[in-house]
Chain A
Amino acid sequence: MFQFLPALAPELYAAGFCLTGAADLVWLHLLSDLAIGVAYLSIPATLALLLMRRRDVAYPWLLGLFVAFIASCGLTHLMHASAFVAPMPEVAGLAKAFTAAISVATAIVLWPVLPRLLAMPSPAALAREVEERRAAEARAQASEARNAALLANMAEAVFVLRLEADGGFTLESANPAFERIFGLKLSEVVGQRAEAALPAALLGLGLPHWRACAGGGLNCTYELEAETPAGRRAWQTALVPLRDETGRVARLLGSARDVTATRRLQAGLVQSARLATVGTMCAGLAHETSQPLNAALLWLRTARAEAARLPAEAAVKLARALGVVEGQLRRTGELVGRIRALAGATDAEAAVFDASQAVAAAVRTAGGQYAPEGIELAFDPAREALPVRGAPARLEQAVLQLLANARDAVAERRAAEPEAPARIAVALRREAGQVVVEVRDSGPGVPEAIREAMFDPFFTTKDPGRGIGLGLPLAAGVARGMGGGIESWNLAGGGACFRMALAPAGASAVAA
């Protein structure tokens, strides 16, 4: 069967074998070489496919060398097998030389690469690293969620202002406290330009500070007080400039703390202390003045009785003179009565009553007087009963004093600017657990310098004959007696607001 094989002898010698007469051995070599050749072509083919599909394989050129090396080995084995059929010594030699070259090259480059291959993480190490990274990511997410919850539940308003190329600001983000404190809906203001997001009054107050912080690049803190959609608020703000990678201030991080209650309490304490001092002084003054006045009026009565016995002409003259004296003494007596009222004392019994009715009565009284003067008096009554404890007549008096003060302010401004609006707006409502009467006027506003002094007795800016400076102190005394106080501020659009707060009484105790 293998008679042709001896003809192959030179090739076999060349291969280093002498297989003459060993037919079984020839088959063994032939089949093995074929099997190895096919396998050695298949293996690099899969590696080549792998290389094409997975671009992220480390050292692809090394894998490429392996592909070439194994494929050339396969070729060499196939040349061996072909030698049994049709020997091609030159081609087989070239194939072997190519295999040698590529083997040697692979062997050479493999040694220097070895340390780097050793340094490569093992799949287990990679899995571990992946696991660690996942855990770290979960921790970061949890921390972020905690921070978000912290921000969402913080009492302080936190916000970020982005500086725009034109020098303006955009409210980039804000937390729920921002909405609570300023009454601005986050869904409507976040992402908006500041001039669109904020009421003009708030913007006007904040903008200079933002600009200073952005321009100076330094932290800054400031305190403001203004009307907000959530009502009147006082707040402390801290601004921190945030820089971008070029070092330019790109954003401002702000935090605002609501100090309304604290400021109100402080103002209340100061006012209480002043009024307590004033009250003591007034009580003493009223007492000391009333004694001689009392004696004088009593003796005057005796004098008038005696005068009646004189001859007619003399009696008339004397009666006239004594009448003048009595008139002046009574006038002094009335003043003493008003000073006494300032001391907080009252003859009226304290009772629970509806503040709405007392305030409405005062507005009706004043409205009738002011309408002929061309002053518009608007009243926004409460939608509910507002029970308070005190004397209805005194509350009505107090509100009348606030209205008279507003009227005088409006008249003062109109004297200077005849075209100025002449408007007084009264509002009554329950606010933050208190009953609040607010009187807003379109007058010239209260100069800062007299803001506190105007509650002192006999302090007046009015012309002689227009007021003796007991109106506001009386109103403040009434408010204090009813568990509250009065504060005032100027309105952004001109004019002043006087806010009288009263402690509410139990609703069930309202007299019918």
Chain B
Amino acid sequence: MGHVGDGAAGRRILVAEDEVLAAMAIEDELLREGYEVMLAPDGQAALDAARASMPDLLLTDLRMPRLDGAGLIRALRALSPGLPVVVMTGYAPSGGVEAFRGVGEGPVALFTKPIDMDALLAELRGLLAARDGG
């Protein structure tokens, strides 16, 4: 874990995931990486949390109660244009990443479950670095 703190300090990641066990493990990993983590059990809770404090990146499931992933992305992008998004899903939407072109401007990465956590962490670093660069 030599890279703890590399650009992660103070970065806030909003995790929207209704599977509590998965959410807890992801929170653990992100905290270990030095990120601040906001955990939400569904889309609506995530949106409410973001309204209180806008995250730097959204890590979200697609299928969730109350407000689904696509709705959440659209709502957050309206508040924070260009917000980077990482989608985690048990489905593989046809068209892949292309399917998210209609939910507002900004980078999207797609991960199918079970998630390769190392690849996910690398993606988060890349997206956040790109945001700083832009």
CA A305 – CA B97 in complex, angstroms? 32
Contacts of B112 in A (CB 8 A): 290, 337, 340, 347
Q: Is the CB of B117 within 8 A of A286?
A: no
Complex interface: stretch among B3-11, B19-27, B46-54, B75-83: B19-27
B90 at the interface (CB under 8 A from A): yes
Q: Is the CB of A287 within 8 A of B95?
A: no
Q: Is the CB of B92 within 8 A of A346?
A: yes
Q: Is the CB of A298 within 8 A of B115?
A: yes
Closest 4 pairs (CB-CB, A-B):
A298-B25, A287-B90, A290-B113, A290-B90
Contacts of B89 in A (CB 8 A): 287
Q: Is the CB of A345 within 8 A of B25?
A: no
Say how far A324's CB is from chain B's closest CB, in angstroms: 17
Say how far A392's CB is from chain B's closest CB, in angstroms: 15
Choose among A294, A343, A344 the residue that contacts B115 (Cβ–Cβ < 8 A).
A294
A3 at the interface (CB under 8 A from B): no
B98 at the interface (CB under 8 A from A): yes
Contacts of A348 in B (CB 8 A): 96
Interface positions, chain B 106-134, Cβ under 8 Å from A, are 110, 112-115, 117
Contacts of A344 in B (CB 8 A): 94
CA A347 – CA B93 in complex, angstroms? 7
Per-position binary interface string of chain A over residues 332-357, scored 1 when its CB falls under 8 Å from any chain B CB and 0 otherwise: 01001100110111111110000000
CA A354 – CA B102 in complex, angstroms? 29
A329 at the interface (CB under 8 A from B): yes
Choose among B25, B90, B114 the residue that contacts A329 (Cβ–Cβ < 8 A).
B114
A132 at the interface (CB under 8 A from B): no
Q: Is the CB of B92 within 8 A of A345?
A: yes
Q: Please name 20 pairs of A and B residues whose Cβ atoms are closer than 8 Å in the assembled complex, sorted by A.
A: A287-B89, A291-B19, A291-B90, A291-B113, A293-B113, A294-B19, A295-B21, A295-B22, A297-B117, A298-B25, A299-B25, A301-B117, A333-B114, A340-B91, A341-B92, A343-B91, A345-B91, A345-B92, A345-B94, A346-B92
A246 at the interface (CB under 8 A from B): no
Given contacts A289-B90, A298-B117, A345-B92, 10 further A-B pairs with CB under 8 A are A287-B63, A291-B113, A295-B22, A299-B25, A302-B28, A337-B112, A340-B91, A347-B110, A347-B112, A349-B98
CA A55 – CA B46 in complex, angstroms? 118
CA A298 – CA B19 in complex, angstroms? 12
Q: Is the interface of B mostly helix, strand, loop or mixed?
A: mixed
Q: Is the CB of B95 within 8 A of A349?
A: yes
Per-position binary interface string of chain A over residues 300-318, scored 1 when its CB falls under 8 Å from any chain B CB and 0 otherwise: 0110010000000000000
Q: Is the CB of A298 within 8 A of B22?
A: yes
Interface positions, chain B 51-103, Cβ under 8 Å from A, are 63, 88-98
B105 at the interface (CB under 8 A from A): no
A288 at the interface (CB under 8 A from B): yes
Say how far B63's CB is from chain A's closest CB, in angstroms: 7
B29 at the interface (CB under 8 A from A): yes
Contacts of A286 in B (CB 8 A): 90-92
CA A347 – CA B97 in complex, angstroms? 7
CA A346 – CA B99 in complex, angstroms? 11
Q: Is the CB of A287 within 8 A of B91?
A: yes
Say how far B83's CB is from chain A's closest CB, in angstroms: 22
CA A319 – CA B19 in complex, angstroms? 26
Say how far B54's CB is from chain A's closest CB, in angstroms: 26
Q: Is the CB of A297 within 8 A of B115?
A: yes
CA A347 – CA B87 in complex, angstroms? 13
Q: Is the CB of A340 within 8 A of B92?
A: yes
Instruction: Tell me the A residues contacting B by CB distance below 8 Å.
Output: 283, 286-291, 293-299, 301-302, 305, 329-330, 333, 336-337, 340-341, 343-350
Q: Is the CB of A345 within 8 A of B93?
A: yes
Contacts of B32 in A (CB 8 A): 305
> Which partner residue on chain A sits nearest B18 by CB separation?
A291
Choose among B29, B94, B97 the residue that contacts A301 (Cβ–Cβ < 8 A).
B29
Choose among A283, A290, A305, A350 the residue that contacts B114 (Cβ–Cβ < 8 A).
A290
CA A180 – CA B32 in complex, angstroms? 74
CA A95 – CA B69 in complex, angstroms? 138
> Which partner residue on chain B sits nearest A298 by CB separation?
B25
CA A44 – CA B90 in complex, angstroms? 120
Q: Is the CB of A346 within 8 A of B96?
A: yes
Q: Is the CB of B25 within 8 A of A302?
A: yes
CA A299 – CA B89 in complex, angstroms? 18
Choose among A297, A305, A347 the residue that contacts B96 (Cβ–Cβ < 8 A).
A347
Q: Is the CB of A293 within 8 A of B96?
A: no
Contacts of B117 in A (CB 8 A): 297-298, 301
Contacts of A288 in B (CB 8 A): 90
> Which partner residue on chain A sits nearest B32 by CB separation?
A305
Contacts of A336 in B (CB 8 A): 113-114
Q: Is the CB of A347 within 8 A of B90?
A: no
CA A289 – CA B115 in complex, angstroms? 13
CA A166 – CA B22 in complex, angstroms? 81
Q: Most A CB atoms within 10 A — which of B32, B91, B113?
A: B113
CA A201 – CA B92 in complex, angstroms? 46
Contacts of A330 in B (CB 8 A): 114
Say how far A328's CB is from chain B's closest CB, in angstroms: 12
CA A336 – CA B114 in complex, angstroms? 9
Q: Most A CB atoms within 10 A — which of B22, B93, B95, B97?
A: B22
Contacts of B25 in A (CB 8 A): 295, 298-299, 301-302
CA A337 – CA B113 in complex, angstroms? 9
Q: Is the CB of B113 within 8 A of A294?
A: yes
Contacts of A343 in B (CB 8 A): 91-92
Say how far A342's CB is from chain B's closest CB, in angstroms: 11
